[in-house]
């Protein structure tokens, strides 16, 4: 027997089971209803309703569908979608900087200032922070009440922190950047 004939036979058997059982149950219920004194038309309607219910019930699967596990992927700094995600969160509905973008900016600003030996939350370092990044950037990083800073303030602070660089401040008594007494040897051309 060919593969197509086998598939056709299996499909007919499935269809027969899907149609035959509801039809038989519906007919039995209709006959019972008629035998109990109902008129033939209402008995037929009850039989059809029961047949439809049986058809639906035999197609139901009692097993619960498995759901895909939600992965909470931790993004590392510089991940592929980080810039796009940050751009979408920069502006909120009211045109001000979004809270999520401000939170990330504050975290980055605190890390960048810590590399220069300053603590953004320490009132003793307030004057040094002000001298290093300016009043507008300091206000953007420290203001936690409404109104939130504008997107222009956020962009300005990003630029200031970027220009600040990731370089650590020189330790007391060390030479200033660019005045290293032992510069690396110049590369030779090959």
Can you give the pLDDT at residue 53? Answer: 92
Q: How far apart are CA 169 and CA 113, in angstroms?
A: 9
SS3 97: strand
The Cα angle at residue 124 between residues 140 and 157, in degrees rounded to 5: 20
Contact by Cβ (8 Å): 141, 157: yes
Structure confidence by residue, pLDDT tens digits, 90-105: 666 666 777 777 888 8
More confident residue, 30 or 168: 30
Please state the φ and ψ torsions of residue 106, each to the nearest 5 degrees: -65, -40
More confident residue, 171 or 89: 89
Structure confidence by residue, pLDDT tens digits, 11-39: 777 777 778 888 899 999 999 999 999 89
Structure tokens at 52: 């439809």
Cα separations in angstroms, 14 against 1, 8, 124, 162: 19, 10, 81, 69
Q: How far apart are CA 43 and CA 166, in angstroms?
A: 85
Place of tokens 């197509």: 4
Phi-psi region of 45 (alpha: psi -120 to 50; beta: other; left: phi over 0): alpha
Where does the pLDDT of residue 47 fall: very low under 50, low under 70, confident under 90, or very high at 90 and above?
A: very high
The DSSP 8-state label assigned to residue 27 in this structure reads H
């Amino acid at each position: 027997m060919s593969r197509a004939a086998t598939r056709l036979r299996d499909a007919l058997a499935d269809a027969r089971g899907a149609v035959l059982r509801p039809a038989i149950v519906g007919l039995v219920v209709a006959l019972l209803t008629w035998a109990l004194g109902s008129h033939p038309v209402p008995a037929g309607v009850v039989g059809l309703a029961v047949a439809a219910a049986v058809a639906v019930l035999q197609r139901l699967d009692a097993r619960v569908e498995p759901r895909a596990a939600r992965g909470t992927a931790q993004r590392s700094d510089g991940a592929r979608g980080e810039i796009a995600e940050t751009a979408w969160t920069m502006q909120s509905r009211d045109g001000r900087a979004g809270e999520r973008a401000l939170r990330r900016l504050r975290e980055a600003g605190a890390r960048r200032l810590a590399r220069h030996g300053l603590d953004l939350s320490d009132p003793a370092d307030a004057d040094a922070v002000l001298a290093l990044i300016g009043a507008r950037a300091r206000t953007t990083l420290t203001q936690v009440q409404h109104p939130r800073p504008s997107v222009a303030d956020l962009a300005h602070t990003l630029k200031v922190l970027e220009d600040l660089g990731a370089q650590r401040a020189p330790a007391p008594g060390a030479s200033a950047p660019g005045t290293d007494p032992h510069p690396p040897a110049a590369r030779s051309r090959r």
